[in-house]
Structure 1
Amino acid sequence: MKTPVTPDILCIGSVLWDVIGRSENAMRQGSDMPGRITRLPGGVALNIGMALARFGLSPALLSAVGRDAEGDELIAACTVRGLATDYIYRSDDLPTDRYMAVEGANGLIAAIADAHSLEAAGDKILRPLSDGTLPAPFTGAVALDGNLTLDLLAQIARDPLLAQADLRVAPASPGKAQRLNPFLQAGRGTLYVNLEEAGILCQTGFDSSVQAAAGLLARGALRVVVTDGGNPATVGSAESSVTQSPPPVHVARVTGAGDTFMAAHIASELRGATPDAALTDALEAAALYVSGETKI
């Protein structure tokens, strides 16, 4: 058995199949439109990992994938895309998770994330950190997504095995934004949220990413990155704040754009870019992805 290579970054969270229906027309609830339906490897952790691999890093996945035909196919797809899958928990009795979304020319219409197997696996996905498979305490970068349970996220926020890691955390969706509260309470990590998610975490509404970043920092966040679609994005900490507007683009797809933004920002900072340059890199990468020019 080969020894796995120590990764540049761990991606902890959902690894599943994305089933996406897209129409070139604007849609609303009840719309029935022609379009295309695709199935691609997805999940927040996997999307971030794929983007990191495109940016030249060697990411490894910590997640749960069923020991079923869909799971075997997904593992193979991850390997082809340059992701280390040696550390993934393979379950005999849990099916491979799935995500389904419908998108129109006016953006995301509706989505359902079925990540029940990941939630059921719980802290089994962290075993490589405690059994000696991975160096511990882990001192590298970690991209973490909010598809994990609140209990597991709270455990990670204070886990001594990750106390020295560069944690980068995303909520996965507005509906799961409150799961990031343990990182506010612990004052740990860099939180990647959109304007709506920032409002949910702060239990108020914000008019701009600048306001949202300030609100999150006031509630205990160590560092935040707040996006707002085509409006300015802000990176903020107690020491500094940077705000930039994204390039205007024609929207060809939406699902995965936030993950691409996050991955590009992480990769740029790991290469030593300044906060201003890293935000520029991230916004440009997300714009290319949304426009459909970036291959998946």
Structure 2
Amino acid sequence: MTPDILCIGSVLWDIIGRSSIAMRLGSDVPGRITRLPGGVAMNIAITLARFGLTPALLSAVGKDAEGDELVAACLRMGMITDQLYRSEDLPTDIYMAIEGANGLIAAIADAHSLEAAGDKILRPLADGRLGSAERPWAGMVALDGNLTVALLSEIAHSPLFASADLRVAPASPGKAERLLPLLQHPRATLYVNLEEACLIGKSNYASAAEAAEGLLAHGAARVLVTNGGKACAEGTRNAGVIQAAPPPVMVTRITGAGDTFMAAHIVADRRGDARAAALAAALQAAATYVSGEQPS
């Protein structure tokens, strides 16, 4: 089966502790703890599959019990897992977060196996399964910043990605600057929040629109900048910046919201929506997700 899009990056288990109580450092409160398939690439793939697309995952998953269970979950959701790099020596990665009524309290991403696997996860793009240097993959690629700086730099200049429609997201503000090699890629669309935009642009932007203008000035071909419940912006080279406000909703969860926004925008782009309509569709999908109306 030929995939509709490749999702390259972290595929792991999310361990999320959520409480309806506002929390601070040292808080010990009642709540719920869940374990769900996660990771930026995985979260994007989940939303894409929900919209009827067939994503293929390119990542590193251990040949351990946790990895087998994760791959089985991916298959149940309609994803292609044949191209996953399965390692005997590397354990399946994991992400842990604590969320309170006042937002994300803390999170730790253990993506060491993905980083250790390096360019092994890209082999299907070179060996003919999904493409080669002579006939590179020409479809959409969702790429996340959990990859190492060296690998992201390689992707930015690799003939394997010369024809791809690259959709790029940092895994977190702490990894935003890893995307610098891709900032001026002519076929890349960057999806960032305001904090990440400030780090990439090395400026203190006051709004999403200002950040979009700034990143375009730094050479970006296209960028989308979110800012929580405030206005979001989309900027395209030679076409300017547009803005839209997200629908007001009661926030019940945060982890995965940005990935849902990105996936919904990719779907809207794929079906040919105009810029404003695609942005509105992405904001609505993210709002539905954070409100808890859409299943995890």
Same fold (TM over 0.5): yes
Q: Determine the C-alpha separation between the residues in 2 that align with 1:138 and 1:180.
A: 21
Percentage of matched positions with identical amino acids? 68
Deviation of 1:295 (Å): 1.0
Q: Could you say which residue in structure 2 is the equivalent of 1:247?
A: 247
What is the one-letter code of the residue matched to 1:291? S
Contact 1:157 / 1:188 at 8 angstroms: preserved in 2? no
Matched residue SS, 1:45? helix
Deviation of 1:239 (Å): 2.5
Q: Determine the C-alpha separation between the residues in 1 that align with 2:191 and 2:184.
A: 16
Deviation of 1:186 (Å): 3.6
Q: Could you say which residue in structure 1 is the equivalent of 2:173?
A: 174
1:222 maps onto 2:221 in alignment: yes
Structure 2, gaps ≥5 residues long: none
Instruction: Give per-residue Cα distances to partners, 1:86-115, cap 9 Å, x unaligned.
Output: 110000100000000000111110000000
Q: Determine the C-alpha separation between the residues in 2 that align with 1:215 and 1:66.
A: 40
1:107 maps onto 2:103 in alignment: yes
How many residues were matched structurally?
292
Deviation of 1:267 (Å): 0.5
Matched residue SS, 1:286? helix
Contact 1:11 / 1:60 at 8 angstroms: preserved in 2? yes
1:27 maps onto 2:23 in alignment: yes
1:61 pairs, out of 57, 62, 79, with 57
Q: Could you say which residue in structure 2 is the equivalent of 1:210?
A: 209
Contact 2:164 / 2:187 at 8 angstroms: preserved in 1? no
Q: Determine the C-alpha separation between the residues in 2 that align with 1:76 and 1:53.
A: 15
Matched residue SS, 1:232? strand
Matches within 5 A, 1:183-198: 183-198=182-197
1:40 pairs, out of 36, 41, 44, with 36
What is the one-letter code of the residue matched to 1:149? T
Matches within 5 A, 1:68-107: 68-107=64-103
Matched residue SS, 2:295? coil
Matched residue SS, 1:192? strand
1:10 maps onto 2:6 in alignment: yes
Q: Determine the C-alpha separation between the residues in 2 that align with 1:238 and 1:133.
A: 33
Q: Determine the C-alpha separation between the residues in 1 that align with 2:258 and 2:285.
A: 10
Contact 1:19 / 1:98 at 8 angstroms: preserved in 2? yes
Instruction: Give per-residue Cα distances to partners, 1:210-268, cap 9 Å, x unaligned.
Output: 10001111111111000000001001012322210000010100000000000000001
Contact 2:262 / 2:282 at 8 angstroms: preserved in 1? yes
Deviation of 1:161 (Å): 1.2
What is the one-letter code of the residue matched to 2:5? I
Deviation of 1:56 (Å): 1.1
Q: Could you say which residue in structure 1 is the equivalent of 2:230?
A: 231
What is the one-letter code of the residue matched to 1:161? L
Q: Could you say which residue in structure 1 is the equivalent of 2:273?
A: 273
Q: Determine the C-alpha separation between the residues in 1 that align with 2:29 and 2:242.
A: 41
Contact 2:184 / 2:221 at 8 angstroms: preserved in 1? no
Q: Determine the C-alpha separation between the residues in 2 that align with 1:46 and 1:238.
A: 29
Q: Determine the C-alpha separation between the residues in 2 that align with 1:10 and 1:113.
A: 22
What is the one-letter code of the residue matched to 2:226? T
What is the one-letter code of the residue matched to 2:57? L
Q: Determine the C-alpha separation between the residues in 1 that align with 2:228 and 2:93.
A: 27
Contact 1:48 / 1:260 at 8 angstroms: preserved in 2? yes
Deviation of 1:50 (Å): 0.5
Mean CA deviation greater in 21-30 or 69-78: 21-30
What is the one-letter code of the residue matched to 1:278? A
Matches within 5 A, 1:277-296: 277-296=277-296
Q: Could you say which residue in structure 2 is the equivalent of 1:116?
A: 112
The root-mean-square deviation of aligned C-alpha atoms, in Å, is: 0.8
Matched residue SS, 2:27? coil
Matched residue SS, 2:183? helix
| TM-score (norm. length: structure 1) | 0.97
Contact 1:188 / 1:221 at 8 angstroms: preserved in 2? no
Instruction: Give per-residue Cα distances to partners, 1:70-101, cap 9 Å, x unaligned.
Output: 00000000110111101100001000000000
Deviation of 1:187 (Å): 4.2
Matched residue SS, 2:272? coil
Structure 1 residue ranges, 4+ long, deviating more than 6 angstroms after superposition = none
Deviation of 1:207 (Å): 1.1
What is the one-letter code of the residue matched to 1:172? A
